[in-house]
Amino acid sequence: MNRLTWKDNFFIGLMLFALFFGAGNLIFPPFLGQEAGTSYFPAIIGFVITGVGLPVLGIIAVSLAGQSFQGIAERVNKPFAFFFMVILYAAIGPFFGIPRAANVSYEMGIVPLLPESGTDTSLFLFSILFFGIVFLLSLNPNKLVTSIGYVITPALLASIVLLVAGAYASGFMSGGGPPSAEYESQAVGRGFVEGYLTMDTIAALAFGLIVVNTLKEKGALDRREIRRSAASAGVIAGIGLAAVYIAIGWLGVHSGPRMIMENGSEILTYSAGESFGFTGTILLGLIVTLACLTTCIGLVTACSQYFQRYLPFLPYPALAFLLTALSFLVGNLGLNTIISLSVPLLVAIYPLAIVLILLSLLNEKITLHRSHYIGAVAGTILVSAYDGLKEAGLVPLDGAGFYSLLPFFELNLGWILPALAGFIIGHIFRSKSVSY
């Protein structure tokens, strides 16, 4: 067995950073900065906890299992694991995650360069080129470290450094404005929820398998070595994510007193234009396109590897092509449609991912039983399913009843107490269930 070097772990960490860092990660921090104003630092701390901390824990959880997250989900039961994982991969893959990233890349990287607003034809042509590159680079998962860790990630980081440095050099930076009402009273909590909405924790459950497979291919076959190297790569990726979030969030802080904008993409476009003019627009397009491209490559790879276990008669290239083609079709529905369809489902399944990650990590310290997993998951579903229906507009917003009495319900975190209660109930009945 070959022991992995620090250099191996470093470049795997860069690969992981690029896989995580998609368009949404660029958009959320600047808008948080604008809204938080002078309360920016406590807000960004909350954001980093969920936008960085939980995804890193997700990578470690998968590395501890030594296989896909399916094995952890099966501790509840196999039917639950099957449906949960299929929904998860479909959501972050061809139905929502991949098409959304491609659309954001088009709207921020291409539309500003067109003489008029984008047309269906321009989106169609861009999608052909974009998904063609994604498919080609995802054909050989063994080269992900080379193509992403060695090439694309350094280019992405260099572009972000230039954008932030240009803002300082041009005098764009000034004093931040007053925080909005919700950031004034609970900056950390609000930042916590904004990081929660990046959905990177769900992506970690897919990317974790890529990291484990990459480590095995490089010779880390021992479970302890895989766990150590995965943790190192996760920390490296986490440091990079936190640094970028803090930097581009700071752009939002200083854009607020100049002009209030509706979303993070407008803030980044404005700051790039103020710093570099038309060149800044090109730079921003490069950043967004690289971020979206790397995320899509990782998602196509992860989804193809996962679905191959259920469709063994299809070779990996065929699955990668089918997933890329389906993403292409959904992507041409347009960004607004994709987002409106994805949010309710993601709100419903995200808490389940968090609970399963935390249980798997706790299981390394104390012996847990099937009843612990069933109780915690059941308690979580009671609230997360309601939250998903609420986001879909299928239940009245003012008719929450019992749910509104739960702590943190207004922050979409009302599932925490029921999950704890379910865990305790599961502990009481632990003697009658399987241990792990």
Same structural domain, 158 and 279: yes
Which of 332, 365, 396 delimits the end of a domain? 332
DSSP H helical ranges for 140-186: 144, 153-169, 181-185
Nearest to 434 by CA among 379, 368, 356, 361: 368
Structure confidence at residue 174 (pLDDT) = 62
CA atoms of 383 and 336, how far apart (whole Å): 26
- Determine contact, residues 41/188, Cβ cutoff 8 Å: no
Which of 298, 332, 366 delimits the end of a domain? 332
Average pLDDT rounded to a whole number, residues 98-110: 85
Residue predicted with more confidence, 399 or 306: 306
Q: Give residue for tokens 């060695």.
A: 150
Average pLDDT rounded to a whole number, residues 311-319: 92
CA atoms of 20 and 200, how far apart (whole Å): 6
Per-residue pLDDT at 375 exceeds 90 = yes
For residue 85, give the H/E element and its range: helix 78-90
SS3 string of 27-43? HHHHHHHHHHHHHHHHH
Instruction: Show the domain range for 146.
Output: 6-332
Per-residue pLDDT at 319 exceeds 80 = yes
The model's confidence at residue 357, banded by pLDDT at 50, 70 and 90, is very high
In a domain, 161, yes or no: yes
Per-residue pLDDT at 335 exceeds 80 = no
Tokens of 224: 């302890």
CA atoms of 309 and 276, how far apart (whole Å): 49
Which distant-in-sequence residues (6+ apart) come within 8 Å of 128 by Cβ?
328
CA atoms of 326 and 202, how far apart (whole Å): 20
Per-residue pLDDT at 14 exceeds 90 = no
Same structural domain, 325 and 349: no
Same structural domain, 328 and 417: no
B/e letters for 284-294, b = 16+ CB within 10 Å, e = fewer, are bbbbbbbbbbb
In a domain, 328, yes or no: yes
CA atoms of 62 and 118, how far apart (whole Å): 41
pLDDT digits (tens, 9 = 90+) for 264-280: 777 887 778 777 788 87
CA atoms of 306 and 300, how far apart (whole Å): 10
Give the chain's domain count.
2
pLDDT digits (tens, 9 = 90+) for 75-95: 999 999 999 999 988 888 898
Which of 297, 332, 367 delimits the end of a domain? 332
Report the amino acid identity of residue 289.
T
Same structural domain, 323 and 383: no
Same structural domain, 294 and 419: no
Per-residue pLDDT at 352 exceeds 90 = yes
Same structural domain, 293 and 371: no
Structure confidence at residue 177 (pLDDT) = 76
In a domain, 217, yes or no: yes
In a domain, 338, yes or no: no
Per-residue pLDDT at 117 exceeds 60 = no
In a domain, 288, yes or no: yes
Q: What is the mean pLDDT of the chain?
A: 83
Nearest to 419 by CA among 369, 379, 391: 379
Same structural domain, 263 and 152: yes
Q: Between helices 153-169 and 278-307, what is the axis angle to 10°?
A: 150
Structure confidence at residue 157 (pLDDT) = 77
In a domain, 47, yes or no: yes
In a domain, 141, yes or no: yes
CATH number at residue 117: 1.20.1740.10
Out of 110-119, 137-146, 293-302, 418-427, give the one with best mean pLDDT: 418-427
B/e letters for 32-61, b = 16+ CB within 10 Å, e = fewer, are bbbbbbebbebbbbbbbebbbebbbbbbbb
Same structural domain, 181 and 296: yes
What are the phi and psi torsion angles at 16 (to 5°)?
Answer: -65, -40
Structure confidence at residue 433 (pLDDT) = 74
Residue 398 C-alpha from the chain's centroid: 30
pLDDT digits (tens, 9 = 90+) for 165-208: 877 776 656 666 788 877 887 788 888 878 877 778 888 887 88
**First and final C-alpha spacing in the chain:** 28
Structure confidence at residue 399 (pLDDT) = 57
Same structural domain, 286 and 410: no
Of the ranges 30-39, 202-211, 375-384, 424-433, which one carries the lowest mean pLDDT score? 202-211
